[in-house]
């Protein structure tokens, strides 16, 4: 179970990323943020987000048009 869940369903790029950037600051280092999104571009966006912020994309999945990302807060 994630430390925090962020529901960005219905939002288009760049809003899910901007909201995730803010939300992960409230997650303790080593904790996880679960993000739910419906924008198909979110897959590439969250992969890039984790690369550039030095957080870890633990997993991502898709079910009935809802994309789920689990991000571990590992950034300095």
CB atoms within 10 A of CB 67: 22
Percent of the chain with pLDDT over 70: 100
- Mean pLDDT computed over 34-48: 96
**Could you list the active site residues?**
13
Domains of the chain, start order: 4-72 (3.30.110.40)
pLDDT of residue 1: 86
Band of residue 39 on the pLDDT scale cut at 50, 70, 90: very high
Q: Rounded to two decimals, what is the model's pTM?
A: 0.95
């Amino acid at each position: 179970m994630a430390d925090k869940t962020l529901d960005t369903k219905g939002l288009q790029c760049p809003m899910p990323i901007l909201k995730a950037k803010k939300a992960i600051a409230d997650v303790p280092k080593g904790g996880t943020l679960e993000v739910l999104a419906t924008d198909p571009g979110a897959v590439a966006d969250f992969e890039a987000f984790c690369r550039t912020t030095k957080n870890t994309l633990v997993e991502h999945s898709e079910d009935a048009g809802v994309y789920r990302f689990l991000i571990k807060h590992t950034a300095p």
